[in-house]
Amino acid sequence: MSTAIYTHPTCQLHEMGYGHPESPARLIAINQALVAGKIGDQFIQLEAPLATETQLALVHSEEHIRHIKKHRPERGYFQIDADTTLNPSSWTAACAAAGAAIEATSAVIEGRVDNAFCAIRPPGHHATPTAAMGFCLFNNIALAARHALSNCGLERVAIIDFDVHHGNGTQAAFQGDERVLMVSFFQHPLYPYSGTEVSSSNMINVPVPANTDGRAVRALVEQHWLPALHQHKPQMIFISAGFDAHRDDPIGQMALVELDYLWMTQQLKHIAQLYSQGRIVSCLEGGYNTSALASSVLAHIKGLADLN
């Protein structure tokens, strides 16, 4: 099993001010864990290309793309909202994150690698087609899925989102598009306070209360996600891999552990083997305790590479 890890140096240069939880330390911790675990050489490590504005327009409006590009500061910061800030490297970092997701998708579909994890930031699943929000500038996973459908000839894909927050931007991009099945759980109530409304049939949202643990999550996966995935028979699986549902995360209040992320990865790999020729692209979303993040990512990518 060949598993690629895509990243870009600029992803570590984007930062949103002192003390912001979505910081370069997140990728540094993941890199250090790969070295400490002596498993980095078991993955194909690749530098991502930058997404073009034409590629960003697969999901995002021209006005939104111009807004991010125009307001990148020469120094200091530009505040988009209370949680989301641009620094001089943010535009390039966001293009690199999107480019990683798109290139990983092409590589997997073309058979250059079996599956891929994108160690990228800024994250993406809160970015709507017309707005940045919630630490997110462009919606990396939505761009990857749209690329697969629009440019690579696929007809059905699935997006799995196990971040502690609802992926409102991804839902906005694909709600009502029956080619795309999105399944998720998320803590409720919690930012962005969405996902509980009556939605279209291609959105399987499962809100859960604070303190929900792995046993409950495994049950909802078996009861809600897996039947929908078997019915949809996706030709490729995309994962919004947020690790802030971990019990040690400072932002979420769920109670997952590393073995839960490994178990979910294994379930999704089984679906991919049945219907998707094993094709999976996973993109980093949340996770703000750097130790828990690093160990959870390792569990996830070991699962992708069959190293467990």
- 25-36 helix and 290-304 helix, angle to the nearest 10 degrees: 60
252 in Cβ contact with 227 (< 8 Å): no
The packing angle between helices 90-109 and 62-70, to 10°, is: 130
Rounded distance between C-alpha atoms, residue 74 and residue 87, angstroms: 8
Q: What angle do CA 159, 271, 259 make, to 5 degrees?
A: 85
Over its C-alpha atoms, the chain yields an Rg (Å, rounded) of 17
Strands 85-86 and 78-79: antiparallel
Contacts of 154 (CB under 8 A, 6+ apart): 109, 148, 235, 236
C-alpha–C-alpha distance, residues 70 and 59, integer Å: 19
126 is catalytic: yes
DSSP 221: I
Q: Three-class SS of residue 56? A: helix
- Say if CB 286 and CB 257 are below 8 A apart: no
- Reduced to 3 states (helix: H, G, I; strand: E, B; else coil), residue 116 is strand
Find tokens 């864990």 and name the residue. 33
Unique residue bearing structure tokens 């909202």: 81
Of 126, 166, 188, 246, the catalytic one is: 126
Dist. CA 296–CA 308, nearest whole Å: 13
Which residues are the active-site residues?
126
